[in-house]
Amino acid sequence: MKTTSYDIQKLTAKEYSSLEAPVLFSEEDRRFNKCFGIITIGEQRYKFSWYSDLVEPIIELLDSNLFGIGIDQHFCILNSSNGIYKCWDLDTPFLYMIVYEGYVVVICEINILFISLDALKIEKDYLFSEIISDVKLKNRIMRTVFIDDNELDIPIDDNNNPHLTLKTK
């Protein structure tokens, strides 16, 4: 199985504006963005911008030809074999991602999305009232730890009533 590598470079605002490449993420609020970059995956190039200079984009290989990229309130899956990409505007800031049983699990500040790697669509979206500090997936249970050290175990197979269990330390 052949995997494709990637390269990411920061750009100036002028370089970004003059570059001919598909734009990742929505451009509605680009006038507020301070950071600009380009990602090259195989023969494909994509430009993107983000707001905060305190964070860097996170890019991970999800599958043999799928890459995930997250920054600020944006997440995207790029297919290096055909150049197709799908992007989502997130409700809360992106933290990190985990690949788990055919999904990319997108961990945000107060919500968790399960995006199918086959269909490239959000299949589950968990919203919390507390800020997430860690997520672990094991035996089809999603253990979510919050900044106040409370823990919540959610069976990810139960779509109707997840039988939430709050564990307080």
Which pLDDT does position 36 carry in this prediction?
Answer: 92
The arrangement of secondary structure in 92-169, i.e. its CATH architecture, is Beta Barrel (2.40)
Which pLDDT does position 8 carry in this prediction?
Answer: 92
Which pLDDT does position 3 carry in this prediction?
Answer: 52
Which pLDDT does position 42 carry in this prediction?
Answer: 81
Which pLDDT does position 164 carry in this prediction?
Answer: 43
Which pLDDT does position 158 carry in this prediction?
Answer: 61
Select from 71, 124, 136, 125 the least CA-distant residue to 98.
136
Q: What average pLDDT does this structure show over 94-107?
A: 96
Instruction: Name every residue whose Cβ is closer than 8 Å to that of residue 21 and which is 6 or more positions away in sequence.
Output: 38, 45, 46, 47
Mean pLDDT, the chain, rounded, equals 87
Which pLDDT does position 68 carry in this prediction?
Answer: 96
Domain extent listing, the chain? 1-89, 92-169
pLDDT digits (tens, 9 = 90+) for 129-139: 999 999 999 99
Q: Are 37 and 49 in contact (CB under 8 A)?
A: yes
pLDDT digits (tens, 9 = 90+) for 30-58: 667 889 999 998 888 999 999 888 889 99
Give the E-state strand segments of 3-84 in sequence order: 6-11, 35-41, 44-50, 58-61, 66-71, 74-79
Pairing of strands 58-61, 66-71: antiparallel
Residue 163 has pLDDT above 90, yes or no: no
Which pLDDT does position 59 carry in this prediction?
Answer: 93
Instruction: Name every residue whose Cβ is closer than 8 Å to that of residue 117 and which is 6 or more positions away in sequence.
Output: 62, 63, 66, 77, 99, 102, 103, 104
Tell the burial category of 133 from Cβ atoms under 10 Å away from its Cβ (0-12, 13-18, 19+).
middle
Which pLDDT does position 28 carry in this prediction?
Answer: 65
Q: Which helix (DSSP H) or strand (DSSP E) does residue 133 occupy?
A: strand 132-138
